[in-house]
Amino acid sequence: MTSAASPHLTGGLDTLVICGRVDADRAELTPRGELVHGCADILARTLAGLPATVTRVDLDMAGVHFMDTAGLQFLDVLADHGRQRSLTVTATNWNGQPRRILELAGLDTTDPLT
Residue 46: inside a domain, yes or no? yes
* Mean of pLDDT values over 83-104: 97
Q: Is the pLDDT of residue 67 over 80?
A: yes
Q: Is the pLDDT of residue 114 over 90?
A: no
Per the prediction, the chain carries an average pLDDT of 90
> Coil, strand, or helix at residue 46?
helix
CA distance 98 to 57: 20
* Mean of pLDDT values over 39-66: 96
Angle at 84 between CA 81 and CA 90, to 5 degrees: 40
* Mean of pLDDT values over 8-27: 79
69 φ, ψ (degrees, to nearest 5): -65, -20
How many domains does the chain fold into? Answer: 1
Residue 80: inside a domain, yes or no? yes
Enclosing domain of residue 39? 2-54+71-104
pTM greater than the 0.75 cutoff: yes
Q: Is the pLDDT of residue 8 over 90?
A: no
Residue 114: inside a domain, yes or no? no
Residue 111: inside a domain, yes or no? no
Q: Of 10, 23, 13, 22, which Cα lies nearest the Cα of 47?
A: 22
Residue 113: how many CA atoms within 13 Å on its side-chain side? Answer: 25
Confidence of residue 6 (pLDDT cuts 50, 70, 90): very low
